[in-house]
Amino acid sequence: MHNALLAASALLLAHCGASPIAALKARQSCPEVHVFGARETTAPTGYGTAGVVVDLVLRAYSGATKEAIDYPACGGQSSCGGDDYATSMKKGIQAVASAVNSFHEQCPDTKLVLVGYSQGGQIVDNAFCGGPDDSNGYSDSAPAIDSGALESIAAVIEMGSPRFVGGLDYGVGTCTTGGFSARPSGYTCSSSAKMQSYCDASDPYCCDGSDESTHQGYGDEYGQDALTFIQSQLDGAGGSSSTATTQDSASNGTTAGTDSSSSAQTGGQTGASTGAQTGGQTGAQTGGNQWGGQTGAQNGGNQWGGNQWNQNQNQGGNSWGQGQWGGWGKKN
C-alpha cells in the first residue's frame, strides 16, 4: 500500500511537469537564510560594495547562501554596456523581482535578505515598495516582487540609495533632504518595518552633498549597524545566528543549495566569508577593503591554496578606488 501511494505521488508530480527526485533535492538543499546583493553603477558583475554587508550576514548565519542581482548597473558608460540610467534601473527592478520570486518558489521557507548599494539600493527599493519613480519614467506603483515572496523577506538594507528622503522611519544617517530620485516627503512603504536605508548629508547621490567618498563608505561606516538590524529581523523570524560558511547561489535565482564554498583552510585555520587565514591570521577582502591586516582571497577566479572560488562571480576581488566613480555626472 505504501509503495502504491509513493508511485501515485510520483505519477502526479510527473503529470504536473515536476520531477519528484529533483523537487526533493531542491527542498533538501534550501538554506535557512539567503541574501541577495545589488551592486552600484559601473561596478563589475557581482556584488560591488553591497558585498560588505552580504558577507557580514553570511559570517553570522551558518549555511546561509548569497546571490548577486544580474542587471546592467549602468548610467550610460560604455564599460557597463551603454544603457542609460533609467533603462538600467528598470531592468534592475525586474531582475530583483525575478530573482526573489524564483528563489521563493523553490525555497518557500527560506528567510530572505536584500542588500542594495546606490543604484542597487534604488532597484531594491522600487521592487520591494513599488513606484512610481517619475524621474526615471517608472510608473508602476505596486511592488514588483510577488506577495508570497514579500512575506519571506525578513530584512532590506539600502546604502546610498537615490530614493532616500530624510524623515522616514527607516532612514539612518545625517541626511535630512533626499537623493536625486527621492521618495516624496511623507511617503510610506507598506513594508517599511523590514527596511533600513543609510545616507549621510555629504553624499551627492542619496543626499545633496558634494563628497563622493561619503557615498563609497557606507559598508565600513554602517555595516555592523546593518548587520545588527538584519539579525534582529531574522532572529525574530526564526533564523539562528552562528559562525557561517559562505556559499554562493547561481545568479538567476533558480538554484539553491548547490553553491560553491568560498572559505578555505590555510595553515590549519578556517577562513570565512570570501576571506582566508594565513599563518593563523584572518583576512577577507570585501569590496577592496582588507580586514584583519591580511589580504583576503579574491573570488574573481583567483586561487588560494589550490582551490578556486566562484569563478563567475566578482565578490570582493575588485578594488574600489576613486577611479571607479568617474564619469557619472549626477547618476550613481
Q: Is 122 exposed, middle or buried (0-12, 13-18, 19+ CB in 10 A)?
A: buried
CA angle 34, 238, 26 (to 5 degrees): 45
C-alpha cell at 168: 522616514
* Phi, psi angles (nearest 5°) of residue 98: -65, -45
As a dihedral over the C-alpha atoms of residue 196, residue 197, residue 201, residue 204, rounded to 10 degrees, the angle is 170
**Is 67:249 a contact under the CB 8 Å cutoff?**
yes
Catalytic residue, from 203, 251, 259, 273: name it: 203
Question: What is the residue type of 30?
Answer: C
Residue 33 to residue 153: CA distance in whole angstroms:
10
Residue 212 C-alpha from the chain's centroid: 22
Residue 151 to residue 289: CA distance in whole angstroms:
34
Give the strand order in the sheet containing 289-291: 275-278, 281-286, 289-291
125 in active site: no
203 in active site: yes
Catalytic residue, from 98, 161, 215, 273: name it: 215
C-alpha cell at 135: 524621474
For residue 199, give the nearest of 176, 227, 223, 180 by alpha carbon: 176
C-alpha cell at 149: 515572496
**Is 114:155 a contact under the CB 8 Å cutoff?**
yes
Residues contacting residue 328 through CB under 8 Å, at least 6 positions apart: 41, 42, 75
Catalytic residue, from 88, 118, 197, 263: name it: 118
Residues contacting residue 15 through CB under 8 Å, at least 6 positions apart: none
How many residues are there in the chain?
332
200 in active site: no
Active site residues: 118, 203, 215
